[in-house]
Amino acid sequence: MPEVATHCPYCALQCGMTLRGGGTGSVEVLARDFPTNRGGLCQKGWTAAELLDHPERLTTPLVRQGSGLRPATWDEALGRVVGGIRELQARYGRDAVAVFGGGGLTNEKAYALGKFARAVLGTRFIDYNGRFCMSSAAAAGIRAFGVDRGLPFPLADLGHADAVLLVGANPAETMPPLCRYLAEQRDRGGHLVVVDPRSTLTAKRATLHLAPTPGTDLAIANALLHLAIVDGYVDRDYIADQTTGFDEVGRVVAGYWPERVERLTGVPVADLRTVARLLGEARTALVVTARGTEQHANGTDTVSAWINLALALGLPGRPGSGYGCLTGQGNGQGGREHGQKADQLPGYRRIDDPVARAHVASVWGVEPDSLPGPGVSAVELLDRLGTPDGPRALLVFGSNPVMSAPRARRVERRLAALDLLVVADFVLSETAAVADVVLPTAQWAEEDGTITNLEGRVLRRRALREPPPGVRTDLAVVAELTRRLGSPVAVAVDPEETFAELRRASAGGPADYAGIDWTRIDAEDGVYWPCPAPEHPGTPRMFAEGFATPDGRARFVAVEHRDPVEERDAAYPFYLTTGRVLAQYQSGAQTRRVAALHRAAPGAFVEVHPDPAAALSISDGQLVRVVSRRGVVEVPARVVDTIRPDTLFVPFHWPGTARANSVTSDALDPVSRMPEFKVCAARLETVP
């Protein structure tokens, strides 16, 4: 029976798995011992193969006819796409067509999409759903270290650290096998501190759980640094030798004395002092953030505050210590390195850098001046669709913005205003359902490629079998569109050939893959970037020899607390926060169709504390409305004492009247342009 060693199609942990079988309905998932998962898988990984032969799998292109979609041949569907692109660009210019990618796409696809947008379509409008996921940590990482790699150390370091501070992360539900490292850390006598407004499964494992008011993490970080300075825990030699900007940060955090921060955040002074001591006295310590830290209108500054704390304690670059960020989507890391971001060329180069443009243009065989300039971020791009000076067509690959973008009703209106919406997907997602053309594409077990996991480790995804008849890979779709558009630019169908080109394009950039090839990945259980040459060992631990800044020093950035864009008031007395549950993944287009996952988590809900529930006469299981200034969600109440009385929580995996993003805010971080998913003002109403 055929068998292949590969990785899970879902989150950034990229657990190792073996696929066995290949015939219809016969693919079996076996857990594989890989450094990230040590033989473990979560429910999502175990059931991933069910989608391969799912009855709702798309195997025929669809085109819009009136209010419905009807089957079409590839020739007709691609003809409609190419005809639309030609007509719209002739009438409105190159920027009339936009591309929207995804953080789950392989490195090869992310690279090909960026090349297709810039060199074939000639549009500046390309961005992707990773903007919703990790862009604030990316921006803060570049600001401090000169480079953005989620974890600049191997995941295994978690198991050995004396102290781990997890901020806005819930791996017990989002990536359960990672908890093996936390268990190892606990068994070795280490301390785990979790910062989260909810008492999550992860928080329950912690030595200490801080439950701040949503949107106040930055003040906690500044208070911890304040205490670290006062109590003599900062590493003065490290600060002097390896950093710049500490004095200004010291002046700012002087204003964050613990009693003030207790009033601001609700976190007791005694707990702040305990955390400062645990971190300060630890021989090795890790500060790790995730979406709870980032998805705010001050997300970049909030991550900077946590990095400041880590730098002051002398952690980054020290063996077993450091600062890192847990990436969410499967290729959240690689997906933001190779050119599907609005301001970026492959290798994490800036598109406005003349040297980068000349290098990438030479790899693509085009003139540097022919490459467009920076576009706009995902929310801003979606907001411009169909407007007089915005794109008239959108091509979506590996994304479901109708579900995943904030203020989703407005997104639906903007998509409806387009002349042409094209979606490549393997199920009829909520975005595909409103498209003009739907192109059925291959799944993870049907194509080869590479993924870069949350550690910056480049992995091989391997095909077990061919795509079903009628289905094409994303690369084949992009290559065929390129051919039909008559472009002289070559876009390869073969993923290994694409990777070879990506290596050349990334050479010399911050995310340098030049020394990585597929054979080497196979032989070494993955290779960590930067890896500039075949003889280079790769870089599991970054910053041991200094930082990727012009002077080699890490940069402190002084940051102040700011209130969320929407504060609570009499009409909207709760903070609403959103997130994930164990058995579902992101927009839910895949996992909602898996029977076991649907049974485990069949629908959305709103978590509410017993005190406000009693005051509003709401009982557990009762259908209620969560209302914000942008819309309404109708879901059953889940009355729990694991959430703050001033906070509501709704998971974002379900569509229709349960769609959490109908109510979320599209306020953006000024640096990363990431939306404020994690806090908006809301009220709770009973349904008559």
Residues that bind ligand SF4 (CB under 6 A): 8, 10-11, 13-15, 37, 41-42, 44-45, 175-177
Shortest CB 42 distance to ligand SF4, Å: 3
Shortest CB 351 distance to ligand SF4, Å: 31
Strands 574-579 and 647-651: parallel
Number of H helices and E strands in the chain, helices first, is 23, 28
- Angle at which helix 495-506 crosses helix 107-115, to 10 degrees, equals 70
Shortest CB 178 distance to ligand SF4, Å: 7
CA-based nearest residue to 645, from 573, 580, 587: 573
Shortest CB 655 distance to ligand SF4, Å: 21
What does residue 357 show for φ and ψ, rounded to 5 degrees?
-65, -40
Structure tokens at 339: 């050119």
Burial degree of 55 (CB within 10 A; 0-12, 13-18, 19+)? exposed
Burial degree of 156 (CB within 10 A; 0-12, 13-18, 19+)? middle
Alpha-carbon distance of 322 to 259, in angstroms, equals 28
Which one, 7 or 80, has the nearer CB to ligand SF4? 7
- CA–CA distance from 532 to each of 114, 230, 332, 450, 658 (Å)? 22, 43, 21, 17, 47
Which one, 8 or 385, has the nearer CB to ligand SF4? 8
What does residue 534 show for φ and ψ, rounded to 5 degrees?
-55, -30
Alpha-carbon distance of 557 to 538, in angstroms, equals 29
Which one, 302 or 590, has the nearer CB to ligand SF4? 590
Ramachandran bin of 174, using left for φ above 0, alpha for ψ from -120 to 50, beta for the remaining angles: alpha
Shortest CB 8 distance to ligand SF4, Å: 3
Cis peptide before 530 (omega within 30 of 0): yes
Strands 457-461 and 527-528: antiparallel
CA-based nearest residue to 118, from 313, 375, 362: 375
Which one, 6 or 321, has the nearer CB to ligand SF4? 6
Shortest CB 31 distance to ligand SF4, Å: 8
Shortest CB 197 distance to ligand SF4, Å: 23
Structure tokens at 45: 């990984």
Shortest CB 38 distance to ligand SF4, Å: 11
Alpha-carbon distance of 275 to 272, in angstroms, equals 5
Which one, 328 or 339, has the nearer CB to ligand SF4? 328
Shortest CB 594 distance to ligand SF4, Å: 12
Alpha-carbon distance of 391 to 419, in angstroms, equals 9
- CA–CA distance from 661 to each of 147, 184, 196, 670, 677 (Å)? 31, 37, 21, 21, 8
Adjacent-strand bridge partners of 649: 577, 607
Alpha-carbon distance of 163 to 169, in angstroms, equals 16
Shortest CB 526 distance to ligand SF4, Å: 14
Alpha-carbon distance of 671 to 327, in angstroms, equals 19
Which one, 123 or 174, has the nearer CB to ligand SF4? 174
Which one, 176 or 390, has the nearer CB to ligand SF4? 176
Shortest CB 583 distance to ligand SF4, Å: 10
Which one, 32 or 318, has the nearer CB to ligand SF4? 32
**Neighbouring C-alpha atoms within 13 Å toward the C-beta of 344:** 28
Q: Among all residues, whose Cβ is closest to ligand SF4?
A: 45
Strands 208-210 and 97-101: unpaired
Shortest CB 268 distance to ligand SF4, Å: 33
Alpha-carbon distance of 118 to 126, in angstroms, equals 8
Which one, 44 or 143, has the nearer CB to ligand SF4? 44
Which one, 101 or 176, has the nearer CB to ligand SF4? 176
Which one, 472 or 592, has the nearer CB to ligand SF4? 592
> What DSSP letter does each residue of 293-359 carry, written as one string?
HHSSTTHHHHHHHHHHHHHHTT-TTSTT-EEEE---BTTTTGGGTSS-STTEETTTEETT-HHHHHH
Residue 611 DSSP class:
H
Which one, 37 or 662, has the nearer CB to ligand SF4? 37
Which one, 364 or 585, has the nearer CB to ligand SF4? 585
> What DSSP letter does each residue of 4-21 carry, written as one string?
EEEE-SSBTT--EEEEE-
Alpha-carbon distance of 150 to 535, in angstroms, equals 24
Alpha-carbon distance of 71 to 56, in angstroms, equals 14
| Sign of the dihedral defined by the CA atoms of residues 314, 316, 322, 323, in that order | positive
Which one, 45 or 332, has the nearer CB to ligand SF4? 45
Which one, 40 or 346, has the nearer CB to ligand SF4? 40
Shortest CB 17 distance to ligand SF4, Å: 7
Shortest CB 571 distance to ligand SF4, Å: 39
Shortest CB 102 distance to ligand SF4, Å: 16
Tell me the residue type at 23.
Answer: G
Shortest CB 447 distance to ligand SF4, Å: 18
Which one, 175 or 363, has the nearer CB to ligand SF4? 175
Shortest CB 177 distance to ligand SF4, Å: 5
Which one, 42 or 424, has the nearer CB to ligand SF4? 42
